[in-house]
Structures are given as C-alpha cells and as structure tokens.
C-alpha cells in the first residue's frame, strides 16, 4: 500500500474524477476526506448514468476510512471549516487534491460576466483558497503533497474563456506553490486530463464525443481511474523528487501538433 494512513483531502470527490481518485487512494490505504458541495454523486447524460452509491459507501466496501465534509470550495468559511474538521478528526493533513471544478459552455459572447466569475471562483480562486488554508498543516507532514487537477485546456482553447484561463493559471500556480513549499519537503504538481467520461460532458453532442474519441491515439476515452492512478503516483514516495510540473493524462490526444 503506497499511501497507508496518509490523510488526504480530495475536493469534488462525490463524483467523476474526484471519486475515481478517492477510490484509488482508498485501495492504497489512505484516509480520505471527501470535500464536495453535495454528497450525492452526479448522474451524467452519457457517462456515469448508473452511479447510485456515495463515495463513502464505496470506500467502506474497500475497508478504508473516509469522512464527508460538505464544502463549497468557492466559499472561504467552508474551506476554513474543511481544514479545521479534517485536523480535528484525523489529526493533520498529508495530501490535498484540488479536483473540484465546473464548466459553463460558451464563447466570450455567450457567457455572462457573472458566469466568468463563477467558473474562475471555483476553478482558480477556490484552488487558491484550499491550497492557502491547507499549507500550514501540510508542511508538518513527512509526505506532503498538493495535486491540482487542471486540464488539457490549460494549453489550448476550445472550452470557453473562463475555463481555459483558470486551468492555465492553475498550471502556473502549481509552479509558484512548488517554489514556496519545497523547503518543507512538500511537492506540488498538476495533472492535465484529456476527455474523461464524467457528467461534466453533458453539454456535448454525441458527434462531439465521437470527435474526441477519434482524436485519441489510445483508441478509447479516459475514465476516472486513469486519473486516479496518476494521482496515486504523484501522491506516493516514488515521486518525491518531482515538483512544479504538469502531467498530461490524455490518451495521447495532445501528442499531435
Ligand atoms: N472530465 C473531463 O474530461 C475533464 C478533463 C479535464 C479536466 N477535468 C477537471 O477535472 C475535475 C473534475 O471534473 P469531473 O469531470 O469529475 O466533473 P464532475 O462534474 O463529474 O464532478 C465534479 C465534482 O465536483 C463537485 N463540485 C463542483 N463545484 C464544487 C464546489 N464549488 N465545491 C466543491 N465541490 C464542487 C461536484 O459536486 C462534483 O461532485 C474538474 O476540475 C474538471 O475541470 C475534467
């Protein structure tokens, strides 16, 4: 077990990629805090149509330990509560996975300024707040890790201005935070997923999904477990000299120029 007893906060872990990461961490013996605005998993139109159990139920089936703390990561008092309750319950924080994120489709003329604020408020400001408030605890860990779930859209357009900007900023924040906490032995890295089969894709048409599949050299779309295994590596001792970097996990979709 690579993450035995490592106390891990995973934001957005009720559904999709966060849930996939939580289940892989549980298999590796981590103690998990599910920080999501809702405990019920999202059901997608194309993917994750039949998910009914909570992430905690699945973790308990694996014989691991988890708690749910209701958290909106764009709300400062929720994030403070998340850190306080985690430390009260488990006694510290070893790993923070900043996974929670939202997407509002549309180009600059479609989305409102309020929608820009909403996306950036969760996907960038929210990541900053959880990181800022977790660092005082993570620096006390022997195995401190911060893992950001960014996106292939950090490196290119096509997902709307707010989403693309926030994800690119998270990649650069990863480097800045890595410089800050390296002296405490804490690593900070980003994973940039390509198309992963989750409810976030509900806005797409079947033709869009087919086109994503055709652009993926590995011949299938991604599943949450693909990101979960990459996150286990970045959380484990095997990656202790890797920091400030971004790992594309996209089935090769970005390999073509
Ligand atoms: N699915 C993909 O193809 C893909 C690709 C690249 C990056 N990502 C990123 O991966 C992350 C997870 O996406 P997903 O596909 O699993 O999405 P999802 O919509 O399936 O799940 C997102 C989870 O985050 C929670 N959440 C949303 N806003 C929150 C908030 N303010 N506070 C706390 N929890 C909140 C939701 O309740 C949900 O449980 C996001 O950051 C997303 O941008 C996804």
pLDDT tens for each residue of the chain, 257 residues long: 999 999 999 999 999 999 999 999 999 999 999 999 999 999 999 999 999 999 999 999 999 999 999 999 999 999 999 999 999 999 999 999 999 999 999 999 999 999 999 999 999 999 999 999 999 999 999 999 999 999 999 999 999 999 999 999 999 999 999 999 999 999 999 999 999 999 999 999 999 999 999 999 999 999 999 999 999 999 999 999 999 999 999 999 999 87
| Token pair for 194 | 């390509």
Distance 100 CA to ligand 1 centre (A): 5
Catalytic residue among 46, 68, 163, 195: 163
Does the predicted TM-score (pTM) go above 0.95?
A: yes
**Which of 9, 11, 14, 16 gets mutated to test ligand 1 (max ligand atoms within 8 A of its CB)?**
16
Strands of 95-98's sheet, edge to edge?
A: 65-70, 31-36, 7-11, 95-98, 145-149, 187-193, 246-249
Distance 255 CA to ligand 1 centre (A): 24
Instruction: Give yes or no: 46 in active site.
Output: no
Burial grade of 49 (CB within 10 A; 0-12, 13-18, 19 or more): exposed
Does the beta carbon of 200 sit less than 6 angstroms from any atom of ligand 1? yes
At residue 256, the pLDDT reads 87
Burial grade of 214 (CB within 10 A; 0-12, 13-18, 19 or more): exposed
**Distance of alpha carbon 223 from the chain centroid:** 14
Does the beta carbon of 187 sit less than 6 angstroms from any atom of ligand 1? no
Tell me how crowded residue 237 is: count the other CB atoms within 10 A of its CB. Answer: 10
The highest-level CATH class for domain 7-249 is alpha beta
Distance 125 CA to ligand 1 centre (A): 15
Cβ pair 189, 245 in contact under 8 A: yes
Give the length of the chain: 257
Distance 77 CA to ligand 1 centre (A): 21
């Amino acid at each position: 077990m690579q993450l035995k007893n490592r106390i891990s906060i995973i934001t957005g872990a009720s559904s999709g990629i966060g849930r996939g990461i939580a289940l892989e961490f549980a298999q590796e013996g981590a103690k998990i805090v599910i920080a999501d605005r809702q405990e019920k998993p999202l059901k997608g139109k194309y993917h994750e149509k039949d998910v009914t159990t909570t992430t905690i139920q699945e973790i308990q089936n694996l014989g691991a330990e988890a708690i749910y703390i209701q958290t909106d990561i764009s709300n400062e008092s929720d994030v403070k509560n998340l850190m306080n309750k985690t430390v009260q319950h488990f006694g510290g924080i070893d790993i923070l996975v900043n996974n929670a994120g939202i997407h509002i489709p549309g180009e600059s003329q479609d989305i409102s300024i309020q929608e820009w604020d909403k996306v950036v408020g969760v996907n960038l400001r929210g990541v900053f707040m959880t990181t800022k408030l977790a660092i005082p605890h993570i620096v006390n860990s022997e195995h401190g890790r911060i893992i950001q779930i960014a996106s292939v859209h950090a490196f290119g357009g096509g997902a709307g201005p707010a989403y693309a900007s926030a994800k690119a900023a998270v990649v650069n924040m990863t480097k800045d935070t890595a410089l800050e906490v390296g002296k405490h032995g804490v690593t900070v890295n980003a994973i940039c997923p390509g198309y992963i089969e989750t409810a976030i894709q509900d806005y797409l048409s079947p033709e869009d999904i087919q086109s994503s599949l055709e652009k993926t050299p590995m011949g299938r779309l991604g599943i949450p477990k693909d990101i979960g295994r990459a996150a286990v590596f970045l959380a484990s001792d095997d990656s202790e000299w890797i920091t400030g970097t971004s790992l594309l996990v996209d089935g090769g979709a970005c390999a073509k120029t």
